[in-house]
A and B are shown apart, each in its own frame.
Chain A
Amino acid sequence: MSLARTERMLYAGCRLASICSGLIVLFIGFFLFKESLPLLLKINPMRFLNDPGWHPTEGQFGLFPMFAGSLLITVGAMIVAAPLGIILAVFCRFFAPRKIANAYQALLSVLSGIPSVVFGLWGLVVLAPIIRHVQPPGVSLLAGVLVLAVMILPTIALSANAAMTSVPFEYLQGAAALGFSKWQRVWGVAIPAARPGIVTGMILGAGRAIGETMVVLMVCGNVVQVPDSVFDPVRTLTANIALEMSYALSDHRAALFVSGLMLLFVVMGFVAISESIRAKVIEK
């Protein structure tokens, strides 16, 4: 009797917690939508992508450069960080002596705990001047990509490592018994078997990159433009909100909420992509 009661309470508690966390997401979405609604009703929503410029006080709401900036920085950071992170994880899991692997993991955990403003500072005073030597102005898409890559590297490496650690020893032993070389055991069996976990880590990293505000404010230059090269300054959706929120009124303010809404959609897109990749893995 009392067992059933504990179980019921546990069940109710779990249900309450999951309802709460689900509701929070819904409320945020609802709030963003509500605040941007006046403007969405006033103008054609396509204008947020098509307007030639971002002059919100003069009725021009072109968010496309910011949208492109966010996407380019995230994709760029992924292109740099994902292979590095996976290689790092493979090294730790399969090739490094135990002590070195543990030290590496501790280092990565520390790296993932460093506040983004510190990364931003480093990017601003160390990396940007180096890039300026190659091609001014230094604060640029490239600077953002590189700093963000360093920032999300631990997320990707640690989840890839966890995914590979959970690959059953039987798979590796079975592969060895079939005469697989060590490299082929890793590349042919362990990495494919760990793919769902690796993909999850990459999506977490991408989510962190696209949501990052402080770093991009500090190192990307914040010029509203679709960049012609990696050396051009860009502004992201997050930076756009942070820069203008304090003085934005009425339509301008609503347009910033549209920026937030756009971010939400991009993140939803990432999740959808990762889910479809994982579903494919399971289907196989």
Chain B
Amino acid sequence: MNKGKPKLNQYSIETQKLNLFYGKTPVLKEVNLQIKRGLVTSIIGPSGSGKTSFLTVLNRLTDLIPAARVDGSVFVNGENLFAPDVDTIQLRRRVGMIFQKPVPFPFSIQKNMVLPLREHGMKDRRQQAERVETVLRDVGLWEEVKDRLSHSAGLLSGGQQQRLCIARALALKPEILLMDEPCSALDPISTAAIESLIQSLKGRYTIVIVTHNLAQARRISDETAFFWNVEGIGQLVESAPTEILFEAPADPLTKAYVHGIRG
């Protein structure tokens, strides 16, 4: 780390009294959450509890929605996300995001991988090829696609597309990976592949994953945060190590939800 950077603590992401509005409608209310470096944190909760919205705040994708307004503060590696001098392009390189629906661009596999690298200044073709191979191996896709890099990414299966998208994000060497229900559009085998991929990325990246699948949250995450919808507004109910949140939650609402009684 550079000397000028603020000192790093154990938290990759820290939100304080985070509120989010779309126009006049509040979407998130007073979320205080700390996400530990190098761990997998899952965010669970019913639909409409603001999980996805919370994720999009963390790399400022909310900027794309003209009516979105954020107050409170968010620190990524100790730096205020909404400080006026934040370079969102650099921010999004460091905080990658994977969406619910895989979104490969309608180009070849090769171009999908190389376009972001070029955008971030890597012009050397040999370097590009090395990086592409490394990350495609990381996501277990290399053997499947190495002979057809020039084919359309749209021809891959859903699971392959999602792994391609993860590889594409990893190629930029992010520090944090945000995943918004990355398996919800996938079959069980592809889901298993992505889950073991997430396990293998643990430690190297801080991963925040939104999931509707409680069993998945239990399997893959170290920490879990539970969101709930209170009169249409998303709120954080509690966050704890996954084991504790599922076995001995502090809040009765959490208990009801993880036991499938509510939600």
Question: A-side interface residues toward B, CB under 8 Å?
Answer: 168, 170-181, 184, 188-189, 192-193, 282-284
Contact = CB atoms under 8 A, between A and B. Distances in A.
Interface residues of B, number: 28
B173 to A, nearest CB: 11
Contact of B103 (A174, A180, A282, A283): A174
Contacts of A173: 61, 64, 99, 103
A176 B61 contact: yes
A169 to B, nearest CB: 8
Interface stretch (B76-84, B88-96, B137-145): B88-96
A3 B108 CA distance: 44
B116 interface: yes
B107 interface: yes
Nearest to A167: B106
A156 B230 CA distance: 50
Contacts of B99: 170, 173-174, 177
Contacts of B90: 179
Main secondary structure of the interface of A (DSSP, over half): helix
B59 to A, nearest CB: 6
A175 B105 contact: yes
B105 A174 contact: yes
A179 B108 CA distance: 20
Contact of A283 (B105, B152, B168): B152
Nearest to A196: B106
B107 A177 contact: no
B119 A184 contact: yes
B105 A179 contact: no
B101 interface: yes
Contacts of A184: 119
Given A172-B64, A188-B115, A284-B152, A178 B168 contact: yes
Contacts of B64: 172-173, 176
Contacts of B96: 177-178
B92 A177 contact: yes
Nearest to B94: A179
6 contacts: A168-B103, A173-B64, A177-B96, A179-B88, A179-B90, A192-B107
Contacts of A284: 106-108, 152
A170 B101 contact: yes
Contact of B172 (A168, A170, A172, A179): A179
Contacts of B91: 179
B119 A188 contact: yes
A178 B172 contact: yes
